[in-house]
Amino acid sequence: MHIHIPDGVLPIWLWVAGYLMTAIFLAIVLPKLKKEEKKFPLVGMASAIVLLITSIPLGLPVHLNLMVLIGLIVGPSWSLVVSFIVNLILASFGHGGLTIVGLNTIVFWTQALLGILLFKILSKLIKNYFASAGLATFISLLFSFLLIVGIVFISTVDPGEFLHREGEMGHLEISLRTFIILSSPLALLGSLMESIIIGFGVQYIKKVKSELLA
């Protein structure tokens, strides 16, 4: 779940703020990651997986990204690096504009961070890795959807711009309320699909190679 709109739509102050936030967080975590050079290959593979999954068209304005699973594998700090790399590459391929890379990085990273936190809590309460990972993913994705709605709200841009699908839907002039009504079912469907996939993924990893789960 991420923002998929072309350049020239968001106000400058908003997408610049997204880049600034991303730059600040990267400046904080990167020095710490120098001690974890052994994770470079794993992070590269994780980035490739997210890039591939995010690029798969589902026939709906919804994309899976597996960021919660990636966060559980590479950890909170490295998941920020993965989020930035993936969104930068996607934007360079025309999957959204370059101006939204910063904001999308924050959206992806929020999913990973919240997913890690919730999984740690739920796995102790539920004692079932499929259920705890699935529920953590579902809540994280719904929160990221609310974050996107918040971005739509503060951008003062016509919400129809955020439903842009190159050549398919074009531009729709709609209200924020209509945007939420149209996008909520898709967000719920995408969140449910991804939650099930990640639930099975975490359950499998826990059985065969539990040390992968950071």
Question: How large is the average pLDDT for residues 185-197?
Answer: 89
Count: domains in the chain: 1
Q: Which structural domain, as residue segments, surrounds residue 42?
A: 12-212
Note the pLDDT tens digit of each residue in 127-184.
889 999 999 999 999 999 999 889 888 887 777 667 654 444 455 677 778 778 878 8
Residue 185 inside a domain? The answer is yes
Give burial (CB, 10 Å; 0-12/13-18/19+) of 192.
Answer: middle
Residue 193 inside a domain? The answer is yes
Contacts of 23 (CB under 8 A, 6+ apart): 102
Residue 4 inside a domain? The answer is no
How much of the chain exceeds pLDDT 90, in percent? 44
CATH number at residue 127: 1.10.1760.20
What integer pLDDT is reported at residue 207 of this predicted model? 86
Q: Taking each helix axis from N to C terminus, what angle separates 101-126 and 129-155, rounded to the nearest 10 degrees? A: 150
Residue 1 inside a domain? The answer is no
Tokens found for residue 207: 């059985």
CA 140 to chain centre: 9
Residue 7 inside a domain? The answer is no
- Number of Cβ within a 10 Å radius of residue 39: 18
What region does 158 belong to: left with phi over 0, alpha with psi -120 to 50, or beta?
beta
Question: How large is the average pLDDT for residues 58-65?
Answer: 68
Question: How large is the average pLDDT for residues 81-106?
Answer: 89
Q: What average pLDDT does the structure give for the chain?
A: 85
What integer pLDDT is reported at residue 166 of this predicted model? 45
pTM over 0.85: yes
Residue 2 inside a domain? The answer is no
Residue 196 inside a domain? The answer is yes
